[in-house]
Amino acid sequence: MDSDKTKTANTSAEETQKAGTKKSASGAAKNSSTNSSSSASSGTSGSSTSSTSMMQSSQTSGPKDYSQEATKDGPLYKFFLDGLKDMYFAEKHILEALPKMKAAATTEELQDAFEDHHLVTQKQVSRLEKVFKTIEEKPEGKKCEAIIGILKEGESIIQETEEGTMTRDAALIIAAQKVEHYEIASYGGLVALAETLGLERAADLLQTTLEEEEETDLDLTDIAESFINFRAAGEDEDDDSEDYEYDDDDDDPGLVL
């Protein structure tokens, strides 16, 4: 079970790296821009169509000459901007959820991990604001049903698992990794789109966040596999927190919101 999870996490990280790696940004976004440029250049006539300015730009400059100015009215730029708004909304919701996850966690290791990621997430919100600024857009969120659903599932895990158990932590880690994987997929795509659109500064900022999410995902895997999953496997229905000696510090700092 554990090795499967590691494999999944590693595979995901590798795939995302491929999507997000700046030099080889070859994600769907890049492909779609290539497609739209080739369809533009192989149009049936040179007469004006209902094409966007992005397509007009393609006809004259080719795919490698995209610039912020040339694409700002195009659908790909709008999709990119929507993606940023989606993540701005998502990060703010994650900021609200992390303290609850920390409060629900059994082990100090997981509590610390959630607290650390809360700090990282605060920086990511600021970094997203910087991204908006670099492309001269106002930072605003757009409702993201995906993150609402993923976080809701995390809440139900807290309801469904016994307080003070390792099973609670094993389940919380998986819930948190679902959040991270959503973020990894989203930021990986945004990096690729920013590169395609020639928004280098935005791509750099988003790449930094992408790497933080990947690191968090791997850290969570490490915590799960170091002892939590193993001990959770030994739990039965009547176990509670007093049965565990996961921490040699008897003065558990408790949960601080």
- Is there binding between residue 124 and Fe ion (CB under 5 A)? yes
The interface region with Fe ion, picked from 8-16, 25-33, 53-61, 117-125 by CB under 5 A, is 117-125
In the bound state with Fe ion, the residue whose beta carbon lies nearer, of 109 and 213, is 213
- Is there binding between residue 109 and Fe ion (CB under 5 A)? no
- Least distance between Fe ion and beta carbon 98 (Å): 9
- Least distance between Fe ion and beta carbon 87 (Å): 8
Please report which helix (H) or strand (E) contains residue 209, including its range.
helix 200-223
Tell me how far the alpha carbon of residue 121 is from its chain's centroid. 11
Tokens of 44: 């049936």
How far is 99 from 106, CA to CA, in rounded Å?
A: 13
Give the burial class of 110: count Cβ atoms within 10 A of its Cβ; 0-12 exposed, 13-18 middle, 19 or more buried: buried
Q: Which residues, numbered 150-189, are part of the site for Fe ion (CB under 5 A)?
A: 183
The interface region with Fe ion, picked from 40-48, 196-204, 206-214, 232-240 by CB under 5 A, is 206-214
The interface region with Fe ion, picked from 13-21, 160-168, 208-216, 227-235 by CB under 5 A, is 208-216
- Least distance between Fe ion and beta carbon 86 (Å): 12
In the bound state with Fe ion, the residue whose beta carbon lies nearer, of 86 and 183, is 183
- Is there binding between residue 229 and Fe ion (CB under 5 A)? no
How far is 8 from 198, CA to CA, in rounded Å?
A: 32
Determine contact, residues 104/162, Cβ cutoff 8 Å.
no
Extract the runs of DSSP E, i.e. beta strands, from the chain.
none
How far is 252 from 186, CA to CA, in rounded Å?
A: 37
How far is 214 from 188, CA to CA, in rounded Å?
A: 10
- Least distance between Fe ion and beta carbon 154 (Å): 12
In the bound state with Fe ion, the residue whose beta carbon lies nearer, of 55 and 190, is 190
- Least distance between Fe ion and beta carbon 5 (Å): 17
The interface region with Fe ion, picked from 45-53, 114-122, 153-161, 234-242 by CB under 5 A, is 114-122
Question: CB count, 10 Å around CB of 81?
Answer: 18
- Structure-token match 């030994």, residue found: 234
Applying CB under 5 A, which of residues 213, 214, 221, 228 lies at the interface with Fe ion? 213
Tell me how far the alpha carbon of residue 135 is from its chain's centroid. 21
- Structure-token match 């590693």, residue found: 10
The interface region with Fe ion, picked from 2-10, 12-20, 116-124, 199-207 by CB under 5 A, is 116-124
Write out the residues near Fe ion by the rule CB under 5 A.
121, 124, 183, 213
